[in-house]
Structure 1
Amino acid sequence: MAGKPKLHYTCGRGKMESIRWLLAAAGVEFEEQFIETKEDLEKLRNDGFLLFQQVPMVEMDGMKLVQTRAILNYIAAKYNLYGKDLKERAQIDMYVEGTTDLMGMIMMFPFQPAEGKEKQLALIKERATTRYFPVYEKVLKGHGQDYLVGNNFSLADVHLLEAILMVEELIPDGLSQFPVLQGFKARISNIPTIKKFLQPGSQRKWPTDEKLVAQVKQIFNI
């Protein structure tokens, strides 16, 4: 019997958080090996475990998987969260690329210099409410189904909920103009595996604070 997936990353969100979300949504238990120092990262590199010298890395099914999208797609396909055919997969990929772009802006926010944060926050709000959320609102309203693609729960739904919650941490009224997305948020949040992941004590990580920013800068020389 295969062991639990093992996730190698810092004890923060970053690019690994979407992988944590997806495994949790699929009901898959996982272990974490945190990278806490520059030496921890160098050991992974020197042992040949990182194909491109980068993390996230997930040990799973006898493989050492790297590159976030490759990891997400493998997990989604394995646990039937990646559509029923190529057309649905293409739709899922498009929606995930959109939420990835939005979340990428939010991930970088704690690393902004203090004098640039107000401008960055305004940009995040503008992009979320005029570029990204309107798309998902229109899609869900247009087909009148519970989920983004094929009326089946998928990676796209998990990713969108994660993005919504990230935006709301910075902009509490971020969904105020989007009633369909408000309903989507409530519905997906109550899926049992998701609901469990949202409870205190789960492996979901807290928003990035100054201490983690300093640690990440030291580990990755940034």
Structure 2
Amino acid sequence: TLHPFIFYFGRCGAMRIMMADQGQEWKEILMDFADWTKGDLKASCVSGEWIIILLKCYFYFHLTQTHTDAYGKDGKEAARIDMMCDGVEDLRLKYGKMIYQEYDTGKDQYIKDLPNHLDKFEAVMAKNKTGFLVGDKPSFADYSLFEVLLNHLVLCSSCLDTSPSLKSFVEKMSARPKIKAFLGSDAYKKLPINGNGKQ
């Protein structure tokens, strides 16, 4: 069994959920900002996107070999998964900017505008009719979206009330036995949602 390492720098929530769902084990290396800036790992990263690259490589080289099809069944699906993952990252960046820079002054407006940020995911999910963004199995884009939506539900518990397909998606993902067990574990519950304590 492959035991991947997680170098933690803010974007590993989706990877934890993904690996729990796939029955994989992992070892975490927790890295704070000071270690990141003084270490050699940062210099080896491409545009700071090392975690996303690791996520894709892990899916492509390992999970696809075990027939999970988490990076799509063909090149067309893989391209769509990449596109959706980029869209999730855009949402994550908007959320992060609000949490870390505009929480006190911008939270209410962010929540008000949130349906506009979610509508493209809602449309894709509704059109696909499988309960996932691409194909009929969860891809790494689904895990990434799921984790971001969990954070948003902490921010505003009613934020998906106008997005029925996304609400159903979160319920479906949360009910997957291994994800349900992980989300109920102490290992998950003790993790902070954001590094500054805002949520």
Scaled by the length of structure 1, what TM-score is found? 0.73
RMSD of aligned C-alpha atoms? 2.8
Scaled by the length of structure 2, what TM-score is found? 0.80
1:186 partnered with 2:176: no
- Per-residue Cα deviation, 1:16-58 (whole angstroms, up to 9, x for no partner): 33332332232211112223573x446642xxx44436998xx
TM-superposed CA distance for 1:117, in Å, is 2.0
1:28 partnered with 2:13: no
1:84 partnered with 2:80: no
Pick from 148, 166, 179: which aligns with 2:151?
166
The equivalences for 1:32-181 within 5 A come to 32-36=28-32, 38=34, 40-41=35-36, 44-45=39-40, 49-52=41-44, 67-77=50-60, 78-80=62-64, 81-112=70-101, 116-131=102-117, 133-181=118-166
- Per-residue Cα deviation, 1:171-219 (whole angstroms, up to 9, x for no partner): 221101011221111111111222122113134622225479xxxxxxx
Q: Is the 8 A contact 1:22 1:72 kept in 2?
A: no
- Per-residue Cα deviation, 1:155-182 (whole angstroms, up to 9, x for no partner): 1221121121111111221101011221
Residues in 1 aligned to 2:176 and 2:86: alpha-carbon distance in whole angstroms: 23
Cα–Cα, structure 1 residues 50 and 118, in superposed 2: closer, same or farther, change >3 Å?
Answer: closer
The structure 1 segments of at least 4 consecutive aligned residues displaced by more than 6 Å after TM superposition are 53-56
Residues in 1 aligned to 2:160 and 2:58: alpha-carbon distance in whole angstroms: 29
Residues in 1 aligned to 2:171 and 2:107: alpha-carbon distance in whole angstroms: 25
Q: Is the 8 A contact 1:102 1:127 kept in 2?
A: no
* Identity of matched residues, %: 25
Return 5+ residue gaps in structure 2 as ranges.
Answer: 65-69
TM-superposed CA distance for 1:88, in Å, is 0.3
Letter matched to residue 63 of structure 2: Y
- Per-residue Cα deviation, 1:116-155 (whole angstroms, up to 9, x for no partner): 4244324532453113x21222222223212221112211
Larger radius of gyration: 1
Return 5+ residue gaps in structure 1 as ranges.
Answer: 57-65, 213-222
Residues in 2 aligned to 1:167 and 1:29: alpha-carbon distance in whole angstroms: 27
